[in-house]
Amino acid sequence: MKKALILGVNGQDGSYLAEFLLDREYQVIGWIPSSIPISFENIQHILDRIIITKGDILDQDSLNACMEEYHPDEVYNLAAPSFAAASWKAAVQVGDIVALGVVRLLEAIRCVYPQAHFFQASSSEMYGNPTETPQNETTPFHPRNPYGMAKLYAHWATVNYRQRYNLFAVSGILFNHESPRRPVEFVTRKITNSAARIKAGLEHELLLGNLDGQRDWGFAGDYVEAMWMMLQKDQPDDFVIGLGQIHTVRDLLDQAFSYVNLDWHEYVKVDPTLFRKQESILQADISKAKLMLGWEPRVSFKDLVHIMVDADLELIGLNSPGEGARIIKKHHGD
């Protein structure tokens, strides 16, 4: 039985990855921080099937002890604050956790159990203001917020530890990926949650920023499969992972509200204070992942939105059209 250590197991990506690995008969060790309150909502249904361990990514001894105790075959670092726009309010903390935290983790692997295969969740935010669209593995980086800067530091740390110490260490450059487990602070979940609540008569208005903002949105459940596939290769390498398409916030509204037979124009108001100061077109070129991993996303943008609306309808006790559940069963068999 293979052992996998997942840092951030309780988050969106960590919970989907834990399910994926359990289905492949892994022993899953879920690492959570010991210093802050943690919600187990995303993993409540699998808590009896995984081992939970606590530690501090700011403490080298804590990470060393974890590697010493479990000797995992695979290590997935999915532990990081992921709300890029808010990173300006905690720039130093983000740098310590997202950037230096990865160096501490790589040091723990190098010193304690160097045969472990390591996955680092890099981010499309590293491109920031891209020089080309779509972006691939050779597109120059130009981050524009502390989160993107810290992710870039961690990305290059992973590359350099691979080259200097011959570790099996890889980065997946992940574009926006969403699911019903995404917090409501993110625009995708904000929209699907509001569509459900407006349908139920619990809300009557939705405030949004730039409706022309564009993103490459895919399904998180697809992306964790790519993470795993990267660690099964004979040689370590980095890959861009995304849907490969861009859609606007308007597209998201169209899909979410029409799914529940509503016209979003009647409920949505634009709030200029919610506009991002900087907007970029981030679109994944997943050619390399298709060619070398044999991976490509299974869930379309439309299907993703329907999955999320279904979940939000069920959350407030309304019957959903049920298309989301059928989509997941069709593509993932669960």
**Residues recognised as catalytic:** 123, 125, 147
Secondary structure tally for the chain: helices H, strands E? 11, 13
Q: Is 44 left (phi over 0), alpha (psi -120 to 50) or beta?
A: alpha
Would you say how long the chain is, in residues?
334
Q: Are 251 and 47 in contact (CB under 8 A)?
A: no
What H or E segment, with its residue span, contains residue 325? helix 323-332
Whether cis (ω within 30° of 0) applies to the bond prior to 134 is yes
CA angle 182, 188, 194 (to 5 degrees): 100
Q: Residue with structure tokens 């969740």? A: 121
Which residues have a Cβ under 8 Å from the Cβ of 295 and sit 6 or more positions away? Answer: 225, 226, 229, 241, 286, 289
DSSP letter at 135 equals: B
What are the C-alpha distances in Å from 257 to residues 203, 261, 320? 13, 6, 13
Rounded (10°) CA dihedral 197, 329, 291, 80: 50
CB 331 within 8 A of CB 298: yes
